Amino acid sequence: MAQRRGTCPRRDQAKNCRLPLSEKIVLPVCAIPKQFNHLVGRAMHLYRMLADGDRVMIAVSGGVDSLVLSWLLKEWLRKAPIRYELLAVHLDMGFGGA
């Protein structure tokens, strides 16, 4: 069955699988390939990026990259055998923008 443009194949979980990028743009989380999610988890394990009790602060610009990273880290917090604290920070320097 063809997917209608702009719809999520996981309609039953629609509220839980949408990542707001702005007031007008929403990225369906299912648009993030499972292979990418797997590779991130594998790298986190292989390079021992996180340990039990770590406090992780990520800089969030509001763009796709930082929002996907924050979403992945939150997902791994639910799945990982370790517990860590996650803090997302956005610093607006007030410069005119791109």
pLDDT, one tens digit per residue, over 20-74 is: 655 665 666 666 778 888 888 888 889 999 999 999 999 988 888 888 888 888 8
> Does residue 16 surpass a pLDDT of 60?
no
Nearest to 68 by CA among 10, 4, 13, 18: 18
**Which run of H or of E encompasses 55?**
strand 55-59
Nearest to 77 by CA among 48, 98, 94, 52: 52
User: pTM for the full model?
Assistant: 0.63
d(CA 54, CA 29): 26
d(CA 53, CA 4): 43
What confidence score (pLDDT) does residue 93 get?
A: 81
DSSP letter, residue 3: P
Range scoring the smallest mean pLDDT among 36-45, 75-84, 89-98: 89-98
> Does residue 86 surpass a pLDDT of 50?
yes
